Structure 1
Amino acid sequence: MISFVIRLKSRAHFVVKQGRNAEREAFIGTNARRRKQARLRVAIVIAAFCAIYLAVGVRLLQYGLSEPILSASIGGNVDAVASRPNIVDRNGELLATDLNMVSLYADPRRIIDADEVVEKLALVVPNIDWSDTHRKLRSQTAFQWLRRQLTPKQQADILALGLPGIGFRPEKRRFYPGGATASHIVGHVNVDNQGLAGMERYLDQQGLADLRASGLTDDTRLAPVTLSIDLRVQNIVRDVVARAMTDYEAEAAGAVILDVETGEVLAMASVPDYDPNEPSRMLPDGTVDKAYEKGWFNRISNATFEMGSTFKSFTLAMGLDEGKISLNSVVDASRPIRMGGFTIRDFKGKNRPLSIPEVFQYSSNIGTAAVADMVGIDGHREFLTRLGLLSKLDTEMPGVATPTQPQTWKKINSVTISFGHGVATTPLQTAVAAAALMNGGYLHQPTFLPRSKEEAQALARRVIKEKTSAEMRFLYDWNGQKGSGRGAQVEGFHVGGKTGTADKVINGRYAKNINFNAFVAAFPMDKPRYIVLSIIDAPRTGERGGRTAASTAAPMIQAIIRRVAPLLGVKPRFGEPEAEMLLVDY
């Protein structure tokens, strides 16, 4: 009976409504109540899932709209995959390009056993720093670089280790096929592909760095940048100066070739140099090789020197241009000059009056000083300034040195500067000024980018008269055949020029037994097309045991012109009579 009532109750669903005359009661069965509760629970579960998915969606949207958070370990490497343009020489030969690489990083939060990771990575990655890598893996940061720019084989070997928390990031690595051949011109980049020196740095200064920062160069093939240099000529010039430094037991050597009509730099080498593929070399103890890094120093454009008797070219050009002398003039070089406690004498004096060509041929300090005295201090300083020898060179190459000169010019300063002592300038500036003496009197600022003759002429500035330039060509030719320039003469190519042997300044004093030698040459002298300047620093020996410029710097010029002249399109002429030199009657 009781069970019957319970079953009946569970099935019952009576609703007794309360009316005006009667009362109603509701009897809801157990099954109906359970169904209602189940629907309520399902609704609650659905609402909970909807709330969770809504929260996840909102959070994802927030992450998508927010800026990425970078750890301190990543730094400024968000643009590491940005491309740089290829750099090529004037003939399209490749000088620099980008290679696709990968770099190894770790998420220390996912590293299970730091010791195991370090041990396994040491099998693949050479010279890994165990303590530093272990410290990074235990740092509990979100990102740590472990090794930059790995090879594909190293990447495959690391992937085979199956280490959790280890990943790879694509990057670019700059590659220089020529190695050290044109290192001081092309320059190099750092591990983040940012230009640090040479034309690489110049490109960043022209806006490439801003493009990279904005991401506009990522995986974008940029047009190649063409330089004015000829890689064939550059290779020869570097080979010659490197051999000279070794053969003459010198501290350093260098050379540059300029086109006198355009100001284009066709080659420039300075040794010691370095490999831009490995700008910093590590020693076995893990320290940086500082001696190797000294090769970064470019002595042609980034250093200043007292250029010695090469400055006599400018002093005589000044006297001729100002009308103070002519090629027929004679100056008294019979006795030394005593001035301000100093005695100025000739290295191998003739002790007699000298004609202007003889002053140049015998490199007379006394004769040159007399010419400077005729022009005067103010005129002397103005003339050297006009030739660009006293101000910083205007060119694309970063890091160009600024010349030094006396704060106040006195007569003794003007006299010593006339033969190349007392003013320090860069060898590149000396070559540029010499080009103006040869090309008809126009100063072309040097460029490492291609420039046509028309473009060059539009930018050129006349600094001496055409007549003065013709007279200086005569003097260069004269010295090339009769004077110290004979050591630079190449049969068939008609070379002229001027030597410069200067006592090297060490700790503010002139060292009598240590020279800085230079030779500035032009060829072919009937119509000069190229200026070649060589330097050699502190040679211990030279041709036939000599240490002067005639025995060191001049043979360097000879070796360079003999090999590069045919490449530059200069045709040799054999068996022809020498150009007429009798512009003056003795």
Structure 2
Amino acid sequence: MSRIPLRPLARILKARARGENPDAIEAENRARRHEAMADKQRHRAEGRLLVLGLAFFCAFGVIGMRMGTLASSVPEEPRASAVGNPIIGQRSDIVDRNGRILATNLQTHSLYAHPRDMLDPANAAKQLAQIFPELDEAELLKDFQGDRRFLWIRRQISPEQMQAVHDIGSPALLFGPREMRLYPNGPVASHILGGASYGREGVASAEVIGVAGVERQFDSYLRDPANEGAPLQLSLDLTVQAAAEQVLAGGMSIMNAKGAASVLMDIHTGEIISMVSLPDFDPNNRPRVLTTGDQSDSPLFNRAVQGVYELGSVFKIFTTAQAMELGLVNANTMIDTQGPLTWGRFRIRDFHDYGPELSTTDVIVESSNIGTARIAMQIGAERQRAFLGSLGFLEPTPLEMVEAPTGRPLLPPNWSEISTMTISYGHGLSTSPVHLAAGYASLLNGGTRVTPTLLRRTTTEQGPRVVSEAVSAASRSMLRQVVERGTASFAEVEGYAVGGKTGTADKPRAAGGGYYDDKVISTFASVFPANDPQYVLVVTLDEPSENSGAEPRRTAGWTAVPIAAEMIRRTAPLLGLRPQVDRPQPVGVTLTSN
């Protein structure tokens, strides 16, 4: 912008030539300069006012939009944000194979105190002790009057307890939101679920972690937010599990047993439909672990998985099956049963005198120790060990539980010929009921290896072959005859062709070696229907005694077999198995053609 001079020389000279006053020219130019400056200031002010007006318009527009959003939203309590990783309180549900809840979450509250804000510590301690009888009034008062700034009182409380604490009226008693693990079915499947407890805790949330069973085995999955709350589906059937527990508990009481276990397994997939261990517990109020004595006496001990026992004559079918697979015998081969069978200082006897010889089938039906031992001698220690290993008897079960690795089979330190003989009829090798169920399933489903699992399977995976289909069918026939005319006659269930084998093993002494004379482990391992196998059921009783007669009866035929029969009678319809009933022949006049 060019600046106009106040006294331009040309105009001054002309003005003087005309006799005019040159100062008028200066005054005129000064006025024009002032007018231009005023116009410039005015335009600048107008621009600033326009910008300021636009800014106010945008601000009020944003405020108006936010007010409209808040007015249309659902009201909720404000939540304080915290720096760092928040405690993940959400935990996925656990459901059975049909989607029914086994474990879920419940919103509750915790109770804590700020002792320094306590107005009347004595009254607060007194009333809290009345609401929570397990709290000590004197101890509470001591804590309230001490130097502590924060004090946990209860990790979780019920709505009724929360209201009662409200009524105390103390500003120092505060509540925090809390999520607790709930098992709505109580003790049902307690050993499988295990239980949960609190990990990291805060006043606004708490971390729920698994402490046993599948809760701990799948803890990372159940707590993973990436799963978006998808439940963990087990292979269990809640209805069958409840029925099995009821039957086994009643049978355990009738048979005066110290403990009991049962395993119901799908013979083709290895899915465990029901697994029971008694005595049991309520995972909502999980008992403490024993610090002294025998851990197997604790209700937390899972007899089906952790308990390893000499299971007795239920092992005989594996011996005959291997011998048939090797071509050493067939179902009709006659076996020398003359006894006793002597090996060094050991003598093997039968429960009854079965005569000089029995067929292979009758060795199983009559449960001859001598006959089974002679067959095992033909097999040999090396081949016997390899066969039992192929059925999973030499390693812990791969079951999806943290307790499974503790159920390691007890093997003889030296697998000698005498070990081969005794193991053939279930002594000298200790395994769990789950091992036995998986072994029977592998042998009787057509001869392919089955891996037990607690997870729902939608497909059947063909395992490696352990015996031929012909040997599998012959083994099922032998087990069916054990029920029809052998030691398991009480296992006959109308409409269901049950096959199985009894086993009664003397219980080893805890100290000093040897076996008890009046304490046994009785077992019945069964398959049903035997003509079209679908399920394997194993029932084991610890120290049973049937006392209805003049003398106590402890054998499996009198103790475990009736319980298994009742369990099959109760659960088979729940599993969708229709009873096969022979149709009566028509009576009366029959129309015939000429």
| TM-based fold match above 0.5 | yes
1:519 aligns with 2:534: no
Quick one: which amino acid aligns to residue 363 of structure 1? S
1:132 and 1:461, CA in 2 relative to 1: closer, same or farther beyond 3 A? farther
Post-superposition CA distance 1:298-340 (Å, at most 9, x none): 1011110001000101111111112211112111101211113
User: What corresponds to 1:356 in structure 2?
Assistant: 360
1:377 aligns with 2:381: yes
1:502 and 1:288, CA in 2 relative to 1: closer, same or farther beyond 3 A? closer
TM-score w.r.t. structure 2 length? 0.78
1:435 and 1:486, CA in 2 relative to 1: closer, same or farther beyond 3 A? same
CA shift for structure 1 position 563: 1.0
1:65 and 1:237, CA in 2 relative to 1: closer, same or farther beyond 3 A? closer
User: What corresponds to 1:404 in structure 2?
Assistant: 410
CA distance in 1, matches of 2:318, 2:419: 15
CA shift for structure 1 position 160: 2.3
CA shift for structure 1 position 402: 0.6
1:250 aligns with 2:257: yes
CA shift for structure 1 position 288: 13
Quick one: which amino acid aligns to residue 467 of structure 2? I
| SS at structure 2 position matched to 1:572 | coil
List aligned pairs for 1:58-457, cutoff 5 A: 79=87, 82-192=89-199, 193-204=208-219, 206-208=220-222, 211=224, 216=225, 222-280=229-287, 294-400=298-404, 401-454=407-460, 456-457=461-462
CA shift for structure 1 position 290: 11
1:576 and 1:325, CA in 2 relative to 1: closer, same or farther beyond 3 A? farther
1:66 and 1:258, CA in 2 relative to 1: closer, same or farther beyond 3 A? closer
CA shift for structure 1 position 262: 0.7
1:481 aligns with 2:481: no
| SS at structure 1 position matched to 2:155 | strand
User: What corresponds to 2:507 in structure 1?
Assistant: 504
CA shift for structure 1 position 92: 1.7
User: What corresponds to 1:530 in structure 2?
Assistant: 535
| SS at structure 2 position matched to 1:109 | helix
| SS at structure 2 position matched to 1:390 | coil
CA distance in 1, matches of 2:90, 2:470: 51
CA shift for structure 1 position 509: 2.2
RMSD, aligned α-carbons: 2.6
User: What corresponds to 2:49 in structure 1?
Assistant: none
1:568 aligns with 2:565: no
Q: Is residue 349–residue 364 contact of structure 1 (8 Å, CA) maintained in 2?
A: no
CA distance in 2, matches of 1:292, 1:144: 37
CA distance in 2, matches of 1:304, 1:149: 38
CA distance in 1, matches of 2:416, 2:292: 46
Q: Is residue 259–residue 530 contact of structure 1 (8 Å, CA) maintained in 2?
A: yes
CA distance in 1, matches of 2:103, 2:541: 29
User: What corresponds to 2:56 in structure 1?
Assistant: none
Q: Is residue 295–residue 301 contact of structure 2 (8 Å, CA) maintained in 1?
A: no
Quick one: which amino acid aligns to residue 343 of structure 1? R
CA distance in 1, matches of 2:548, 2:443: 29
CA shift for structure 1 position 155: 1.2
CA distance in 1, matches of 2:214, 2:310: 27
CA shift for structure 1 position 84: 1.3
List aligned pairs for 1:9-20, cutoff 5 A: none
Unaligned runs of 5+ in 2: 1-79, 200-207, 585-594
| SS at structure 2 position matched to 1:306 | coil
- % identical aligned pairs: 38
CA distance in 1, matches of 2:434, 2:408: 12
CA distance in 1, matches of 2:419, 2:547: 31
CA distance in 1, matches of 2:522, 2:426: 11
CA distance in 2, matches of 1:142, 1:320: 76
1:468 and 1:483, CA in 2 relative to 1: closer, same or farther beyond 3 A? same
CA distance in 2, matches of 1:221, 1:487: 50
| SS at structure 1 position matched to 2:127 | helix
CA shift for structure 1 position 423: 0.5
| SS at structure 1 position matched to 2:519 | strand
CA distance in 1, matches of 2:547, 2:402: 33
Quick one: which amino acid aligns to residue 444 of structure 1? V
Q: Is residue 261–residue 453 contact of structure 1 (8 Å, CA) maintained in 2?
A: no
CA shift for structure 1 position 124: 2.4
| SS at structure 1 position matched to 2:415 | coil
CA shift for structure 1 position 184: 1.2
CA shift for structure 1 position 221: 6.1
1:461 aligns with 2:464: yes
Q: Is residue 89–residue 228 contact of structure 1 (8 Å, CA) maintained in 2?
A: yes
1:534 and 1:576, CA in 2 relative to 1: closer, same or farther beyond 3 A? farther
Q: Is residue 258–residue 530 contact of structure 1 (8 Å, CA) maintained in 2?
A: yes
| SS at structure 1 position matched to 2:196 | coil
Q: Is residue 320–residue 372 contact of structure 2 (8 Å, CA) maintained in 1?
A: yes
CA distance in 1, matches of 2:488, 2:127: 65
1:312 and 1:543, CA in 2 relative to 1: closer, same or farther beyond 3 A? farther
| SS at structure 1 position matched to 2:189 | helix
| SS at structure 2 position matched to 1:172 | strand
1:161 and 1:555, CA in 2 relative to 1: closer, same or farther beyond 3 A? same
Count of paired positions = 490
CA distance in 2, matches of 1:293, 1:194: 26
Quick one: which amino acid aligns to residue 474 of structure 2? E
CA distance in 1, matches of 2:275, 2:489: 23
Q: Which structure is larger by alpha-carbon Rg, 1 or 2?
A: 2
User: What corresponds to 1:42 in structure 2?
Assistant: none
Post-superposition CA distance 1:493-520 (Å, at most 9, x none): 0100000000011223211211110000
1:291 and 1:463, CA in 2 relative to 1: closer, same or farther beyond 3 A? closer
Q: Is residue 92–residue 222 contact of structure 2 (8 Å, CA) maintained in 1?
A: no
Further displaced range: 548-557 or 313-322 = 313-322
Unaligned runs of 5+ in 1: 1-62, 69-77, 578-586
CA distance in 1, matches of 2:82, 2:545: 69
Further displaced range: 546-555 or 101-110 = 101-110
Post-superposition CA distance 1:240-279 (Å, at most 9, x none): 1101111111101121110001111001111100111111
CA distance in 1, matches of 2:363, 2:428: 20
Post-superposition CA distance 1:387-433 (Å, at most 9, x none): 10111111212201111101221111111111100000011110100
CA shift for structure 1 position 530: 0.4
